[in-house]
Structure 1
Amino acid sequence: MKKSVLLGACSAVAYLVLAQSAAAQQSQAAANPQTPPASVDAGALPSNSDAAEEAKARENAAEEQADRGEQVTLEEEDTAPASKSGVAAEGTILVTGSRLRGGDQTSRLTVIDAKEIRDRGVTTVEELIRTLPQNVATIGAITNNRSKGPLTSTTGNSGSRVVSDVGALGVSAANLGGVGAGNTLILVNGRRIAGAAGVEQGYVNLNGIPLSAIERVEISTGGQSAIYGADAMGGVINFILKKDYVGTTISASRRETSSGARDTRVSLYTGRAWGSGNVAATVEYGRSEPIVNAKTGYVTNNYSSYYGGNSQFDRRSFNSGIQPGVALQPAVFDPRTGQQISPQIGLTVPAGFTGAPTQANLIQVSPTSARDYVPEFAGSKTSTVSATLNFEQKITDRLRIFATGLYTWARNSQPNAAFGGFSVSLAPGQYYNPFPAFTFGSSAYGSTVYYYPGSEIAAGELVPGDVRNTSKSWTATAGVGYNFGRFADLQIVYTKSKTSTEGTGTQVRSLVSYQKTVTNGVTTYPCYNFQLANNRIPLNRRPAFQAAFDAQCAALTSKDPNVAFNPWKSSSAGGGAGIDTFLYPYVVDDLGSSLDNVEGRLTGTAIKLPAGEISYAFGAEFSRSGLKNTVVSNAAGPDPSSERYAFFGEVNLPVLGKEYTLPLVRRLIFNMALRRDVTSSVGAIGTVNRVPVDQGGEIIYGKNSFGRTTPSWGVLWSPTNTIDVRAKFTRGFKAPPATQLYSVQGTQQTTTAISGDPLYTCTTDCSRIANGTRTYNVPSVIAPNPDLLPETSRQQVYSVSWQPTGFLSGLSMAVTYNRNKIRNQFASTRELFYYLPAIEVLKLPLFYPRDPVTNKITSFNNTRFNIVGSNYESLAYEVSYLFSTSFGTFQPKVTYIDNIVAETIGVTSDQVIDQRGRILGVDKYKVVGSVQWNLDRVSTNVYVYHTPSYLNDYESAYAAGVQLNPEWIKRVKPLTTVDLSVSWAATDWFNVQLAGRNVLKAAAPLAIVDRLPYDTARYNVEGRSVMLSTRLTF
């Protein structure tokens, strides 16, 4: 049925275009054959791109105007011409998705040039990518703080976070088609760069690329693994930096928003050229201020009315603390539901109370007394400095050298939400504790009190801390090229790239709980911290963590009124230990990623066919990637690294050219590519004698290697001079990352409980029998999976494009069908329960091996495994039309993306979860429309972005293939925003632009995500913004 949709769309286009084309050709029969439009310089604009198709449409329109005797007005790019450099950079032309000189004509690109970037009114690469209808903004800005998301999900078998708050701050990534940021490859000048600091998935941080340095962006939504290797299964975004420029341009911009956020940027772009070479450089400084929550509509945490009065969604919780502190009465058992229900009735002391309270001093308070904590700001305060350098020099007529550099420094900070309040557990007998042991539950030795240090903050005794980091990223590429003539060009290129993030976060929090200990028949409850007891604290954080724990233990157990902490005080002068006892650096991170890559390639032309020369490219590359992340090192061993070598080849076969006049065959080109990748990695598989690493255990290392050959083949067929039909077939693969393969705990064992085993009934070996359910204990081990397979993909892309002549000159239409099947996706044991009932999971021998005689489970193997995978299908419709009037030229354009399929398949092929139209998935469709109007020196652009309605199932979860709590799923209203920019070229050297985003100030549709009332992945919470920018060129 999906293919029939494509065939129907293609048939409709073909019907129109063939009829129009036939009429046009008949009218030209007596005249000279049609002359193809001048080719677009591949160095400035790839000829297989949407931009080239629109340029061709503009030329067709100009020819039609000229035939009618009208004045021809074509839009001109407002950058200095590249020809001023006087250097022919043959062999260094960059075309995404191919290493051939002229690119791969069988695949179609989307291109956004520097002028269109400015027309969109964006100031960062993150903002630019968010405007693409193909992108799903799962990583970036405020979205990184979600409790469900790529950066807050877990990694490895241990279930630790991917990165800390420090590492997540200031990170943004692209996600084409919703297949995942790790499957979207980011290139700069056609080459890989290091991924975001410490992020194992390897995706590039978009905030490390300065927007002012970009000449154009090329986007391929087709898989490109046969060209670039792994990580390109979902598509490629290639940022081409500015070069070949003579002169200097200074730009400055200031943006104000309705949410209180501000952005200021200043940049300089300069270039020089001489007879045999050129150099170009950019420098940019930026500073941005965070959003004020109150100005966005986030003013309360009470969403119960939205959920039919369900008090669970009234997140004005006593857990945020009040002053004086509050203890919650024990939960009560509801026999109707079998659930423990917390009445949320608090016990506190009257305001102004001093000293140590007794239970007689306590008063009850209702939930209406809970503090409705909303942080003042959202997002980070950021300062950035970026620079780029492009250099090229001819040594002889054949020998040349070239180099590119990219550097970005950024400082980010944002308030720590933990300063919203905290809880302490007072030990029985502590000076300020009025409760005996186990007052609040049979397992609650201490008495929990929730406290907000408002008076301490007001008095300046406690300065609310923040999470802050300093990140650096740099890439240096150098190469040498030798031109053997038009038949061959040799390049050897070396790239070194590094990213790093260092930072800290301070927090007010209690580290102390109590653990029952029996020694010689005597039961005690000493202070306890799980992370300290199990050596989970990194060495660089342990001294500060231990010191904070010791001080807090004294404050929560002491009978001395000066040492004990008093959570019942109404002011900072209420006595007891100071609030700084609970202030400590909860995270200190030093993250990094690195990439070293060397490539040799030979490109050129070979045999000349009737339609042109066969072009080829082949070569080899070697790369080494490194990662610095405490979380990953704790799981897979210290600073894991991987190596990859590859051999590749590509050939272009022009069978027929446009000068041919065969019926329905004017041009026929075939493209074939093949790549062989071998990836190897080394990591920990356990320790000698099972001694933990932090206790001096010696790590045992293992090695894994994965190899795969990935092909691609494509065809371009032009039935007429105005119609292009393309088909591309690609395969890809991705080796498992370190945390999927290795574990420092691989030889260590713990204990886990097996309840309700359907295949074995315990008797004397039961550890517990309750309500008819029998439970027994077995060892739990971090087990390797020798059968873990690499992820693979198969992608098909079909497109039809049409740029007619005659009375429809200026029109450009295209339809593209994209199908991507990803198989053998990596999964953890937690995901088993998404698809299967717990009773069925216990029957899987990979995770629960059994004694062949008794059928009793012998262990729980906590191992990674492969699920079936994911399917994605989409149709993209693109239409633009350029026409001229006495009021100037106009060009409306519409892009419509129809996401037909986006689904994840579990352990078996019948376990399908549809991700379309859901808050954590892709939208069912996206629409982006624009109109450009050029009149003399004024260019006006209007952009319209439409997001359809979708389901907010963020609060719901999957279990056993069923989505729980369907009553919590809410439909979110659609959203349409309008952007407007007006640019005026006052003189040949001075330009002024006024740009507004969301100029109609469309409000965010209500969508509850954690504590936020809107979906930051789909709505820009900056609200309405106005930016004034100027450019001076000399």
Structure 2
Amino acid sequence: MLNTKVTKAVRLALAFGAASTAVIAQSATAQEGAEKVERIEITGSRIKRVDMEGASPVEVISTAEFEGQGRVSVAEALQSVTSNSFGSVIPSSGNSGQSQSTVSLLGAGAGRTLVLIDGKRMGSSPSLNGGGANLSSIPMAAVERIEILKDGASAIYGSDAIAGVINVILKKDFEGVSFDIQVGRPEAEGADTKQMSMAFGVSSDKGNITFVYDHQQRNPIFDRDRSYTAASMEDKNKDGLISIYDETVGISYSGATIKGPNGMLASPKCDELTKNVDGFVGVLDQGSALGGVGGGQVCGYAFANVSANMASTKRDSAMASITYELTDDLELFGRAMFSRNDSFGRYAPAAANWNNMAADNEHNPTGEVTKGYFRWYQLGNRDGEVTDYQQDYTLGLKGAFGDTAEWEVSYHKAKLDYREAGRFYLSRAGLSHNTLNNIALDSEQGIANMRATTYAENQSELDHLFAGIGFEFGELEGGAIAHYVGGEYFDMTLDSRYDAQNEAGLIGGNAGSSGGGERDVTAVFYEVAFPILDNLTLSAAYRYDDYSDFGGEGNPSVKLDYRPVDDLLLRASYSEGFRAPSLKQLNASDSIGYPRATDYVLCAQQGKSASDCTEASYEELRQGNKELGPEESSYINLGVVYSGFEDVSIKVDYFELEVEEVIDLITVQDLVDAQTAGAYDALIADRPEVKLVRNADGSIEKGYTQYDNGAFMSRKGFDVDVSYKLETAFGDFKFRNVTTILTEVGQDIFFAGPTSDAKNAPEQPAFRSQFTVNYAVDNYTINWTTDVIDSTYETEIKQPTGNGQHIVEYSGTLPTYVTHNLNMKYYSDGYGTFTLGARNLFDKGVVYDSKDKYVDYSIYNTGHIGREIFAGYNISF
């Protein structure tokens, strides 16, 4: 990469240094007595300014606009913005994020997008390892607008503000009473929605009290209710065999399958189970992905007959805020927000290994002690029930003195308590007890011995003290020099605790580990804006954060905005940023998981090409790492804003983001890829806890993985925002198009390995675009929203070239994905507002690959829900 981070910093420092020289040269001719105008604070700077548009691009979207697009919640609204490039976490049944929703600007990861509420850091979700914010807890009815900063901002806000900042601004001066209700029903089964909210506000000449209650609910979608996720199998190549991975959907080899000396073996009782137990589908071909020599067989189980694909969510939130003017120059402000989020997911009976299966076991045809891959159907289906509690409080004072000085002190506390219970998992201790005492596994006593209920408590707390003062000191030709100086103190704790049996590794069909810790952070920051000329402003900021667990980190930013004419703004910025390792990544206990990977090494051993190699699940022991350090980033933005045409606004910004020392998990796939490239020994050389263990036949037995610093990430591209207003005799129109284009998606092929451009790789579209049309006439409005997701390649194949290198080859195409939302409103005279609309108006379906298999990417989740008709009513007094 020709332009390194240091080179860019030097080049920009020289350019901005020349501009600062002009500050000194022209300060003697400063203007005096300039007329005071109202100034506002916009995300990305603590210095208030006159214009909405400044040196950093900020997209401002009101709640009314999101509602006009037909979005159900704050989470769904933010997940639809174009800068959420590759999609993000949505409520999915069967994983640790079942109740979670996140946003990931530029596809850089939820932990690299800082989420604020009224400018204060939102508490990190303990279910996401303390490395991201759960948007599901924010009541949409309490939101006034959302500001999306598309720039690095660690110099202002500290850690995590690498790819941008989401600032959710809540209502503070609502007056009156408002009641809103809406219901939605997809044409396909599942995912029904219900919403209800109430808002009350009272104002006086001294202040305001606002109260909001919000209820949102969406039902689950079960795999059996969609043809492409329902369990099925077909001999597609007509060879008389059905391969477990190539020719089935929703079927697992963990039914009654035995590890043999040269591959898998179906239990001798597989046919009997298929006849007598729902879910078993008989003997299938093991397929190449599971290893073995000369083929093998498995006993399959159709888990998709009972499992939920999308989890249910039910959110209840309340917010109360107060502002009160104690004196003419002193204001008290406070806010309390409470939320409860309940989620339900269902999974098939536990799939868990039967280790050390006796040689004379009725399922074991090998005659030797071995391992079995079993579905513990006797225990019943697993139900996962998650309850998230969140409390968020802010109390502070704002004041002013002199002609220009404004100050603020505040205390902010966030407490998150997420609890998860799992029913009918396998107790390995109970299985051993049954085996030793010859208790039949399907007897009433045997089932009671083996049933286990899992329980996890994930808690985090944030205590935050803030103090800052903004003032003007010094004059330049363009006006007064604005300063802001302040400090923050954070105390953060994370406590993630699993039940003792789970922690001991005695639960089958579940994964998770305890972990946590505590840190405190002390930060000081300074920001200054030099109005060099009336139309030229140079801004700079610096922030230093001192972390109790890994040391200090300082980050600068420099910004320039220039208006050669009133209708044209040119802007540029350079900033450095960092992201601290999460407390869970640092302190996690070991946990067992079963991630999917493609074993190119085994395929090569079997004489199979990389393109014919398929994915399978492998056992993984995931470990924490107390030696993690921070990620470091740089962000460059160059932009132009033009409004010289009547009722037209054009914004174009070019960005470059680079992140070094990226904290990432060294996965099973990374270890396989390193082996194929001849870089395995170098990768594990200084990482004694990381390794890949293989069986005698070359198949993977187990992977030992860990988080570490050392990966790389880059994003380059453009943000384009064009809007146009048109007034006619038959109504008013507003057109807007927002597009985020990625010209480079740099990332490691494997951890700390060579870097490639993954633009348009699977799940990584090069652009997302949103086009909205708003039409208003008399008492009616019609809102039409079109969301466009660029086409991507279908498959990614890594080909080793030797000397630790790879090339990545892409093939196939998944089509451009276009969906439409329609929202119509009628504003009656005194009887409220009526809404009727359709999400996914033309019932755009899911995406299939070249093998006619459903592509399960979150960016296509609209098609999974299907067309949804909704109706609502609002009345305000």
- TM-score, structure 1 as length reference: 0.67
How far, CA to CA, are the matches of 1:935 and 1:317 in structure 2? 50
Letter in 2 for 1:440: T
The 3-state SS of whatever aligns with 1:1017 is: helix
Alignment of 1:43-442 (within 5 A): 94-102=41-49, 105-136=54-85, 139-143=88-92, 145=94, 165=95, 167-259=96-188, 260-302=190-232, 311=243, 312-315=245-248, 319=252, 328=257, 333=262, 340=263, 347-349=270-272, 370-374=300-304, 375=306, 377-418=308-349, 433-434=361-362, 439-440=365-366, 442=368
* Aligned pair partner of 1:872 in 694, 712, 715: 715
Tell whether 2:528 aligns with 1:651. Answer: yes
In structure 1, the residue corresponding to 2:67 is in which secondary structure? Answer: helix
Residue 681 (structure 2) aligned to one of 826, 835, 842: 842
Q: Deviations over 1:733-780 (max 9, x none)?
A: 2233445556889xxxxxxxxxx9xxxxxxxxxxxxxxxxxxxxxxx9
SS at match of 1:1018: helix
**1:733 corresponds to 2:578:** yes
Measure the CA separation in 2 of the matches of 1:599 and 1:576: 60
Please name the residue that 1:719 is paired with. Answer: 564
The AA in structure 2 aligned to 1:439 is P
For 1:503 and 1:615, locate their aligned partners in 2 and report how far apart those are by CA, in whole Å.
Answer: 49
Which one of 803, 807, 813 corresponds to residue 643 of structure 2?
803
Task: Describe the shift of the 1:953–1:283 C-alpha distance in structure 2 as closer, same or farther (beyond 3 A).
Answer: same
Shift in alpha-carbon separation, 1:341–1:613, aligned structure 2, 3 A: same
Secondary structure in structure 2 of the residue aligned to 1:313: coil
Q: Any conservation in 2 of the 1:902–1:914 contact (CA below 8 Å)?
A: yes
**Mapping for residues 521-532 of structure 1, pairs under 5 Å:** none
C-alpha distance 908-486 of structure 1, shift in aligned 2 (>3 A) = same
Q: What secondary structure is seen at the aligned counterpart in 1 of 2:548?
A: strand
Quickly say closer, same or farther: Cα 1:615–1:845, change in 2 above 3 A: same
2:459 counterpart letter in structure 1? G
SS in 2 for 1:504: strand
Would the aligned equivalents of 1:42 and 1:102 in 2 still touch at CA under 8 Å?
yes
2:769 alignment partner in structure 1: 927
1:440 shift after superposition: 2.7
The 1:742/1:500 distance shift into structure 2, 3 A limit, reads: closer
Aligned residue for 1:821?
Answer: 658
How far apart are the structure 1 equivalents of 2:861 and 2:175? 40
In the alignment, what sits opposite 2:19? Answer: none
Alpha-carbon distance in structure 2 between the residues aligned to 1:862 and 1:1024: 41
What is the aligned partner in structure 2 of residue 612 from structure 1? Answer: 479
Which of the two has higher C-alpha Rg?
A: 1
Q: Which runs of structure 2 are paired with 1:513-912 in the superposition (5 Å)?
A: 549-550=429-430, 552-559=431-438, 563-566=439-442, 577=445, 579-585=447-453, 587-630=454-497, 639-657=516-534, 667-681=535-549, 705-738=550-583, 789-804=629-644, 808-827=645-664, 830=667, 831=670, 834-835=673-674, 839-843=678-682, 847=686, 865-867=708-710, 869-905=712-748, 911-912=754-755
| CA deviation string 1:166-206 (max 9, x = no partner) | x5221111100011111100000011121112433431100
SS of residue matched to 1:96:
coil
| 1:941 correspondence with 2:783 | yes
Partner of residue 55, structure 1: none
Q: CA, structure 1 residues 392+320, in 2 after alignment: closer, same or farther (shift >3 Å)? A: same
Give the deviation of 1:669 after TM superposition.
1.3
Give, as a single letter, the amino acid of the residue that structure 2 aligns with 1:397. Answer: D
Asked whether the 8 Å contact 1:426–1:448 carries over to 2, the reply is: no
1:506 aligns with 2:348: no
SS of 2:859 mapped into structure 1: coil
User: Any idea what the Cα deviations from partners look like across 1:323-345, whole Å, max 9, x if unmatched?
Assistant: xxxx5587585xxxxxx466899
Instruction: Answer whether contact 2:258 2:373 (CA < 8 A) is retained.
Output: no
CA apart distance, 1:468: 0.5
- Give secondary structure in 1 for the equivalent of 2:366: coil
CA contact (8 A) 1:596 1:625 kept: yes
Q: Percent identity?
A: 21
Instruction: List per-residue Cα deviations over 1:869-924 (Å, max 9, x = no partner).
Output: 2111011222211112222111222222210111114799981133322234x311
* Contact persistence 1:405–1:477 (CA under 8 A): yes
- What is the root-mean-square deviation in Å for CA atoms of aligned residues? 4.1
Distance 1:736 1:347, change over 3 A: closer
In structure 1, how many angstroms separate the alpha carbons of the residues matched to 2:673 and 2:183? Answer: 48
In the alignment, residue 630 of structure 1 is paired with which amino acid?
R
Deviation at 1:480, TM superposition (A): 1.1
Relative distance call for 1:482 and 1:258 in structure 2 (3 A) is: same
Distance 1:295 1:449, change over 3 A: closer
Q: CA deviation at 1:827?
A: 4.3
Cα displacement (A) at 1:958: 9.1
* 782 and 472 in structure 1: CA distance in 2 versus 1, 3 angstrom threshold: closer
Q: Distance in 1 between matches of 2:871 and 2:588?
A: 53
The answer to whether the Cα contact below 8 Å between 1:267 and 1:285 also exists between their aligned partners in 2 is yes
Q: Find the residue that maps to 1:123 and give its secondary structure.
A: coil
SS of the residue 2:577 aligns to: strand
- Distance 1:115-1:293 versus aligned 2 partners, 3 A rule: same
Aligned-residue offset at 1:866:
3.2
Distance in 1 separating the partners of 2:329 and 2:270: 85
Letter matched to residue 766 of structure 2: K
Contact 1:891 1:931 in 2 (8 A): yes
**Greater displacement, 1008-1017 / 1019-1028:** 1008-1017
Q: Give the CA deviation at 1:580.
A: 3.7
The 3 A distance-change label for structure 1 pair 607 and 592 is same
Q: Distance in 2 between matches of 1:794 and 1:351?
A: 58
1:289 deviates by 1.2
How far is 1:377 from its partner?
Answer: 3.4
Letter in 1 for 2:778: D
Supply the distance in 1 between the matched residues of 2:341 and 2:626 (Cα, whole angstroms).
40
The question of whether the paired residues in 1 share the 8 Å contact of 2:254 and 2:299 is answered with no
What is the letter of the counterpart of residue 639 of structure 2?
S
Q: Which runs of 5+ in 1 are unaligned?
A: 4-37, 44-93, 146-164, 334-339, 355-362, 454-461, 512-548, 567-574, 658-666, 682-704, 746-755, 757-779, 850-859
Task: Write the deviation string for residues 506-552 of structure 1: whole angstroms up to 9, x where unpaired.
Answer: 234362xxxxxxxxxxxxxxxxxxxxxxxxxxxxxxxxxxxxx24x2
- Equivalent residue pairs, number: 766
Does the Cα contact within 8 Å between 1:320 and 1:373 map onto a contact in 2? no
- Change over 3 Å in CA distance of 1:814–1:957 after alignment to 2: same
* Counterpart AA for 1:884: E
- Specify the code of the residue in structure 2 equivalent to 1:506: R
State the one-letter code of the partner of 1:189.
D
Q: How far 1:503 moved relative to its partner?
A: 2.3
Partner of 2:691: none
Please tell me whether the aligned partners of residues 813 and 879 of structure 1 are also in contact (alpha carbons under 8 angstroms). yes
**Cα distance change of structure 1 residues 624 and 465 upon mapping to structure 2, 3 Å threshold:** same
Deviation at 1:378, TM superposition (A): 2.6
For residue 861 of structure 1, report the CA deviation from its aligned partner. 12
Q: Which consecutive residues of structure 2, in runs of 5 or more, have no partner in the other structure?
A: 4-34, 286-297, 504-511, 591-600, 602-620, 689-702
